[in-house]
Structure 1
């Protein structure tokens, strides 16, 4: 048995993973952006201050050739405090004239060359003169002879500390937000999967045969649609279960009645209860009951084939009156017995495109039904319509007719309009259902109308052949 993870666990795990991955990506982006922002802003500020100090120093050197050092050193300290960076002033031979931090005394002159032109940035420790690798930028100027350099530098540890502080703030915030979000996701997931759990429970009850269960309406569109579909399925299953029980009861009854009669008559013949003079009479009854059983089994097999889609009509074109005349000849004794007037067969040739054997069965069932319920001395009238797209056949019989509430039921299996009166006990209640099924597999339709106390009329329509079928 597969005890896999529940949908709640999967959904919660997926949401949690997405949130965690999102936070990780956000943290990575924040780390890169903050680091780049710090460096760009720091470099821009240091370069701006270095150029301002170079201009200031050059001006002081020219104005006060003998007393400029004290003013420049004080200005450098002011800039250092404002930008949180260190500055130094050196001559082109590398001698450090003034500095705001460290014990820097001399700088390799070759390292100063890069600050002569457009290149104003270096990531270096000045050959070990600085305590650690620094971001260095600067500017140069000429005054009173030699060329001087103003360098601004910021240790990499400052950048690292800045990034670390940013990440610490982010982590604390992320953990707090993550806890709140996970709490909300947990209950949201619980709420979202609650209908699925409810559907599973109802499905179990449905599987155990309780077809009265239903699902409530949901506010979520998809779940509400599922609820409607599920309730419709439950209603259909309940209907099918009722039909199945009715089907089994009717089949049992239909099989039991003739079999009981056959068994009783056979036992009577064998044990001598039925005298020899009457044996032929009862043998005919037995033959009739066997025929009834045969028709029942054949009808049920035909229904099974139709429902399974195994009955494919072999369509041909034939005169529509041909199966009618053959069927009427079969029922001639019963027609004469009830003195039935047959009307409407004196028509011009009308062809129907269908399976003649299956249409013959439709005609047989409808005519048998008409003969069964026509009043003595009444009539059975046929009418035909040869349309452009279809051929229609109507069979009307005089007689008691059907009540309005019976009309929707006459095509149901084992439904008998006369079951309360106990007449025509030989009927199976399958004929009209089979007739409808055969008409429908031809792509047609069948209808019934009746006027209580006057007539009942069945009409079925079969589509004509398409050009590619002719």
Structure 2
């Protein structure tokens, strides 16, 4: 069983983890901020009330030196309830004179003189148990004042429990709110993740159909730009595969046809020779036909191998400098009997040296196929004309022959494999329909281009480019 997790699972887990981490971080920050806010607010409130209570106590001691304690105690209790804190009044020896707290833990009788030294006539803050006077740590604000000679201290204190209660209430509200929001967000993330991964499942299903050979399926348009780009690329791929499949089927059909025709002829004639159907005096004639068909098969196989090598990138051109007239003249010499038979005029070769930087053997094959094609379709007494035009680091070469020409429907098809015009089928019994396709492949291998143009009943012209110098020269 596979341990791989689905994209849906991974995306959902990642989103959930990010949300949870965000809430934890937010809760931590909220806890720190709320605690700091409580302390600051509490300190401000205690400081304000301590100053006011110290001032009131000082005034009462001055006004009623012998009877100030009751009024100060009542006032201290009012301040204690108002700010939710307790107050202590002690003298300079640390003896507690008045205490608003009824809790025995917060009712010390004496406070260390050393601890009182931390307080002055300005309000001072400490976070301490005042040297063991309290059984726990408290927030303490203290202020000293003098009345009738002696020095006194008013201390306001608030336990950490109050801070903890405040923080707990804040966090309780936050956690409840976070849980509610988290449930809603997780619900939304689940369905958004489901919606986001649906196209991937759809692409997987379409891929299976294409893998099964159904190239007619396509992906729909998506609202997300990335998925739209993927959909377009996938549909283009499917269209290309469909085109390649059509080409493959056509190629197999054409190859089968081209192989079957000569093999059928060879088989039939050989059987006729073996069973005596063909008379002895005609055996030589039919053996020549068999030889011609064998050569035709050899040309077909050789042409297909050349195409396969070029398309597979196995055929690397041997680049060198040479005159373009060399392969042209060699080819014309080869076809000299046919040129004389059709009384063809050769034009355009009286030019200065035209140098190419290409593979001599491959260019020779290009010239051979194009000149053979021109001789095949030129009219009797017509002409074959060559033209050369340098264009930067490329040279444009054209081969034009007079004659019937090609129709507009035939022009886009002449470079297709095994394509033959109706006229070609009548004139050429030995061709295999791969010559012009090989020409185009060789020219593309050199980085050039080829095109054909024709005027009906006037001429047909092939124009192509080949490099005339190495890159960087």
- Output the TM-score relative to the length of structure 1: 0.95
| Map of 2:166 onto structure 1 | 162
Distance 1:418 1:187 in 2: 63
Give ranges in structure 2 of 5+ residues lacking alignment: none
Q: Which SS does the other structure have where 1:377 is aligned?
A: coil
Aligned position for 1:67: 67
Alignment equivalent of 1:146, drawn from 147, 150, 160: 150
Write the deviation string for residues 119-138 of structure 1: whole angstroms up to 9, x where unpaired.
Answer: 82222334554353211121
Tell me what 1:345 maps to: 349
Map of 1:260 onto structure 2: 264
Q: Tell me the distance in 2 between the aligned counterparts of 1:31 and 1:318.
A: 86
**Aligned with 2:385 (options 372, 381, 400):** 381
Structure 1 partner of 2:89: 89
CA separation in 2, counterparts of 1:317 and 1:410? 30
Q: CA shift at 1:278, angstroms? A: 2.0
- Residue 53 of structure 1: aligned partner: 53
Aligned to 1:27: 27
Shift of 1:362: 0.4
Tell me what 1:462 maps to: 466
- The 1:453–1:234 alpha-carbon spacing in structure 2 relative to 1, beyond 3 Å, is same
* Conservation of the 8 A alpha-carbon contact between 2:384 and 2:402: yes
Q: Deviations over 1:278-326 (max 9, x none)?
A: 2222222222212111111111111111112222211222221111111
Q: Secondary structure at the match of 2:126?
A: strand
> 1: CA distance between counterparts of 2:469 and 2:391?
12
Match of 1:39 in 2: 39
* Larger deviation, residues 365-374 vs 125-134: 125-134
**Match of residue 212 from structure 1:** 216
Partner of 1:414: 418
CA apart distance, 1:376:
3.2
Output the TM-score relative to the length of structure 2.
0.94
TM-superposition CA deviations, 1:133-165 (whole Å, max 9, x none): 211121111112221111111111111111111
TM superposition shift of 1:423? 4.7
Deviation of 1:252 after TM superposition, in Å, equals: 1.1
In structure 2, what is the Cα distance between the partners aligned to 1:467 and 1:200? 45
Shift of 1:84: 0.8
Tell me which residue corresponds to 1:240.
244
Q: Deviations over 1:208-252 (max 9, x none)?
A: 111111111111111111111111111111101000000111111
Instruction: Name the stretch that deviates more: 368-377 or 241-250.
Output: 368-377
Alignment gaps of 5+ in structure 1 = none
Once residues 9 and 253 of structure 1 are traced to their aligned partners in structure 2, the CA distance between those partners, rounded to angstroms, is 54
CA shift in 2, pair 1:117/1:66, >3 Å: closer
Q: Is the 8 A contact 1:418 1:424 kept in 2?
A: no
- Are positions 1:295 and 2:299 aligned together? yes
Please report how far the alpha carbon of residue 169 of structure 1 lies from its aligned counterpart in structure 2 after TM superposition. Answer: 0.3
Tell me which moved more, 252-261 or 237-246: 252-261
**Residues 422 and 175 of structure 1: is their aligned pair in 2 closer, same or farther, counting only changes over 3 Å?**
farther
Whole-angstrom CA distance in 2 between matches of 1:192 and 1:55: 70
Give the Cα–Cα distance (whole angstroms) in 1 for the partners of residues 2 and 92 of structure 2: 81
RMSD: 2.0
| Deviations 1:250-269 (CA, angstroms, capped at 9, x unpaired) | 11111111122222222222
| Cα distance in 2, alignment partners of residues 268 and 118 from structure 1 | 132
How many residues of Structure 1 are paired with residues of Structure 2 in the alignment?
469
**From 112, 120, 124, the counterpart of 2:124:** 120
Change (3 A) 1:388 1:246: same
- Tell me, yes or no, if the aligned pair for 1:265 and 1:282 is still in contact at 8 Å: yes
Q: CA deviation at 1:186?
A: 1.2
Q: Which residue of 1 aligns with 2:365?
A: 361
- CA–CA distance in structure 1, aligned partners of residues 138 and 341 of structure 2: 123
CA shift, 1:117, in A, is 7.4
**Secondary structure, counterpart of 1:405 in structure 2:** coil
Could you tell me which residue of structure 2 aligns to residue 286 of structure 1? Answer: 290
1:270, 1:181 → 2: CA distance?
88
* Offset at residue 110 of structure 1 (A): 2.2
Name the structure 1 match of 2:394: 390
Deviations 1:179-200 (A, max 9, x none): 1111111111112122111111
Per the alignment, in what secondary structure is the counterpart of residue 114 of structure 1?
Answer: coil
Counterparts in 2 of 1:3 and 1:295: CA distance versus 1, 3 Å = farther
Equivalent-residue separation in structure 2 for 1:254 and 1:419 (angstroms): 18
